[in-house]
Structure 1
Amino acid sequence: MSETQMHERSDGELPFGFRKVQAREKQGLVDDVFHRVARRYDLMNDLMSGGLHRLWKDAMVSWLAPPKATRSAYRVLDVAGGTGDVAFRILDRGGPGVSVTVADINAAMLGVGAERALKRGADSRTRFVQLNAEKLPFAERTHDAYTIAFGIRNVPDRAAALAEAYRVCKRGGRFMCLEFAPVDLPMLKRVYDTYSFQVIPKMGRAITGDDQPYQYLVESIRTFPIPERFAVEIEDAGFERVTFRQLSGGIANIHSGFKV
């Protein structure tokens, strides 16, 4: 756990966007955000990324490279993936031995994913489970891969979630995380900040009638660690061979690590 995280936890406060809230309150506030945007989740990500999130998710799954030729079991836990966006990509790319447990703390997000799964047709390789990323109900070393896309920055206790990711991965298992990050390039930062703070909330209000979830989400990106710092947090959880790939000038990053 970083010194910043230890200080936040000991003070009993955590960042919720740019404001501080009691640690015990944050999960409920985050849940409310995603209850409000669940039916517009793809639209939310389109607004946040300019539509690029689809390509970024493709890039993450491509780097994961779920096995295609083998029929042996390859179990993936996709956390904070309630709508199935990443899970369906993994299943489409992998072979018949690949299965995905889609996990999310938010029932509304899981409901959207379950509806999408039905439209795709019955598939026993997918299941949807409501759970907390900080305390997973799985035994140690049960999954070949743990994926999380645009979810880790919303977890109140990031260190606990990363420790759980390490615990449930098998030896040789893979941790992969796709997440936004504060932009470091001066020109890109200026453009992206203007778009984020002046355009995204207004578009959210115009389309959904509610700008507050979008305001929180753009603020939460600015309080998330830069990729080099987050890589250290992943290593602190026990993962090795930790690396990351920057996407679109560092607007988002794919982080990878292995349990060896």
Structure 2
Amino acid sequence: MIKPNRQRKRKPAPETPRETPTETPTETPAQTTHFGYSDVPVDEKASLVHDVFADVAENYDLMNDLMSMGIHRWWKSAFMNRLNPQPGMRLLDVGGGTGDIAFAFLARGGGAATVCDINAEMLEVGRRRAIDRGILDNLDWTCGNAENLPVSDASVEAYTTAFCIRNVTDIPAALREARRVLKPGGRFMCLEFSHVVLPVFDKLYDAYSFNVLPALGQLIAGNREAYQYLAESIRKFPTQDRFADMIADAGLGHVTYHNLSGGIAAIHSAWRI
């Protein structure tokens, strides 16, 4: 009798442990922002801007004279006319270290003003100017960042900023802070260098800004780089319409703007509804 051929069951071969592929950690690219025409890490811009204004603090009016061809004083007067200060009105002027806006506000009958600036050197110039002018009452000075103001919610009737906000790292955050500190019905106003809207004149102003202005900065203030940055920062600032949209996105209402000197500067106005 033939026995059936039984196949042996083979033991399974031991499994060779598989090597887990080593994952190369990916580096998160550093966030950058513009400093003039240069890209810099976000967390470095504030200190770079601080250094620029620390260097020009003593000659800040001269700087504005050079950048505006001498007409910034008229712009500030137009700015104050639109604000129309009233007795009892409390103003927060952000980035107003040397005090021009606050002084004009109080001279026109405003109630009280606080000047907030991130730059201690600018504030010191403002304090000295206030003492020289005998402006001692209803005026406070505080060092602070526009993106995180050391000011209570809904505490002022007016928020102003002049020739400052284009230097802020996070402009939307600064605009949200403006809304936060304003009382309902309070007024937001911004005076800033902007974009020329007159044909031909824009090219002439560009030629002045990028060729003449830095040379004058070197000749008069010994600081070409600061004035080069300031010219570049103007070109990087949003257009009048885009900035108006940013103000509205921050929750402020009835946003309008008015060009000055063909758009070399512009006044933006809004309200906390």
Regarding TM over 0.5, the answer is yes
In the alignment, residue 90 of structure 2 is paired with which amino acid? R
Q: Give matches, 1:162-181, under 5 Å.
A: 162-181=175-194
The C-alpha deviation readout for 1:183-238, integer Å capped at 9, x for no partner, is 23331111101110110000010001111100000000000000000000000111
In the alignment, residue 231 of structure 1 is paired with which amino acid? A
Identity %: 53
Whole-angstrom distance in 2 between the partners of 1:25 and 1:185: 35
Unpaired runs of at least 5, structure 2: 1-28
Partner residue of 1:256? 269
Partner residue of 2:74? 55
Aligned residues: 245
Whole-angstrom distance in 2 between the partners of 1:37 and 1:145: 27
Match of 2:106 among 57, 79, 91: 91
2:241 is equivalent to residue 228 of structure 1: yes
The C-alpha deviation readout for 1:61-101, integer Å capped at 9, x for no partner, is 1100011xx4xx21100000000011101111125xx1110
In the alignment, residue 172 of structure 1 is paired with which amino acid? G
Partner residue of 2:155? 142
Q: CA deviation at 1:11?
A: 5.9
Match of 2:84 among 57, 60, 65: 65
Match of 2:199 among 177, 180, 186: 186
Based on CA coordinates, which of the two structures has the bigger radius of gyration?
2
Whole-angstrom distance in 2 between the partners of 1:182 and 1:245: 12
Match of 2:165 among 147, 152, 155: 152
Whole-angstrom distance in 2 between the partners of 1:204 and 1:89: 27
Q: Secondary structure at the match of 1:147?
A: strand
The C-alpha deviation readout for 1:13-45, integer Å capped at 9, x for no partner, is 111001110001100100000000000000000
Match of 1:207 among 217, 220, 223: 220
Q: CA deviation at 1:139?
A: 1.6
Which structure has more relative contact order (CA 8 Å, sep 6+)? It is: 1
Unpaired runs of at least 5, structure 1: 1-9
Match of 1:23 among 35, 42, 46: 42
In the alignment, residue 224 of structure 1 is paired with which amino acid? F
